[in-house]
Structure 1
Amino acid sequence: MFLGIEDKIESQGTFVLLKLLFPILVMLGLAQLTLVSDFFVWDRSLILQGEIWRLITGNFTHTNLPHLIMNSAALTVFCFIFKDILNPKKLWGLLFFISLMTGVLLLLSPIQSYVGLSGVLHGLFIWAAIEDIKQKRNTGWLLLIGIITKICWEQYFGASASTISLINAKVATEAHLIGAFSGGTLQLATRLITLSKVSDDPK
């Protein structure tokens, strides 16, 4: 009996995970096609000429297949760990707002061209770490400290040579920092909105 219940819970968890991930992974795969990728790339000059969709879409295409697989795997891990606090609407909302914020703030950096989900992933993990902290889970602090340490290391020492070789491009560590900042800012904005609603609510 108990085995049956456990199997049912496990299958429900797998279904939730697939429901979260499948549409996004399909989109990432399609964005890797050359015709789509050329239309998606974050390109400073083209954005300034009015192709503003690239602020968001640049985050969803990648330099090569290993780059795509690496970021897809990281997104899968994120969804697996935090599937209890995610649903498709929330995940798509997070991806949209963190992508937009990252894309806009990259204009303040020296980067001329950028692709990859890694900046957004840093934002997602920062957002989730703060969410864990709000729910008084110690794992949230560990995750937050881990990500901040990684970002500080990258800003000082740069990305690892193995990662650069794998994706066949310079790692945009600026995007990691900006993405993390975007995830934290989204949490702060949500908190301020919640506090504003509470203060406006008549007793």
Structure 2
Amino acid sequence: MRLFLLLMTVSLLCLGLQFEPLASLTNWQRDLILDGQWWRILSGNFTHTNFAHLAMNLAGLWVISFIFRPTEKSLALLLITISLAIGVLNFLSDMNGYVGLSGLLHGLFAYFALQESLNGRKSSWLLVIGVIAKVTWELTMGASQSTVELINARVAVEAHLFGMLSGFMLALIVRFFPSRNKSAA
């Protein structure tokens, strides 16, 4: 039930950020972040180009949550941590602007797939290979033209890469450097 409430909260937050003036105050913009608007590092992941983009990304968030069934605490921590990582790592690219949950979705999927794999679920290695193959394809061949048309923007495949790498890194950290307080996990 609490996971449902977290997903509803994130969904409503993203919906609210679709409307002005919030939309233009929250998208990831390199120049504005460098001018001191640091909140955009996090908030840019929750703003979208249009309602089709929003619906597609929220559907992905709900499906990933349904498939992997994280606790609300772990999902909340991952949403914040991966979002911040993407927001910072975007500076390694030549992007000037970025919006959307897609990088975060790649990070969540990578995290949960690798976690399952490292915990002995051999079939989940196919999921790990699949997300690597998808991101590699996008980086070398480009994103789907139908997605570009649907969201009315260039797909930020760099954010997909940064999300995936962040998810993998967090999964490895959790696996090999477990918290001393097991009840927090």
Q: TM-score, normalised by structure 2?
A: 0.93
Structure 1 unaligned runs (5+)? 1-14, 198-203
Instruction: Select the residue among 26, 35, 51 that pairs with 2:37.
Output: 51
**Range with greater deviation from structure 2 (39-48 or 183-192):** 183-192
Aligned to 2:110: 126
1:20–1:79 contact (8 Å) kept in structure 2: no
Q: Structure 1: how far apart are the matches of 2:178 and 2:148?
A: 41
Greater Cα radius of gyration, structure 1 or 2: 1
What residue in structure 2 maps to residue 163 of structure 1?
A: 147
Deviations 1:156-203 (A, max 9, x none): 1000110000000011111100110111111222234328x5xxxxxx
1:58-97 equivalence runs, <5 A: 58-83=44-69, 86-97=70-81
User: SS of the counterpart of 1:97?
Assistant: helix
More helix by share: 1
- The residue number in structure 1 matching 2:27 is 41
* Correspondence for 2:129: 145
How many Å apart are 1:90 and its aligned residue?
1.2
Aligned-partner Cα distance in 2 for 1:41–1:94: 20
Instruction: Give the CA deviation at 1:129.
Output: 0.3
Q: Which moved more, 1:162-171 or 1:18-27?
A: 18-27
Write the deviation string for residues 111-160 of structure 1: whole angstroms up to 9, x where unpaired: 00000000010000000001111221133111111111100100110001
1:101 to 85, 94, 101: 85
Query: For the Cα contact (< 8 Å) 1:17–1:80, is it kept in 2?
Result: no
Structure 2 residues without counterparts, runs of 5 or longer: 181-185
CA distance in 2, matches of 1:100, 1:19: 22
Identity of aligned residues (%): 47
- 101, 104, 117: which is aligned to 2:101? 117
What is the aligned length?
Answer: 181
Cα deviation, 1:7-49, whole Å, max 9, x if unaligned, reads xxxxxxxx46523411111111111112111111000001001
- Aligned residues: CA RMSD: 1.6
Q: In 1, are the aligned partners of 2:28 and 2:87 still within 8 Å (CA)?
A: yes
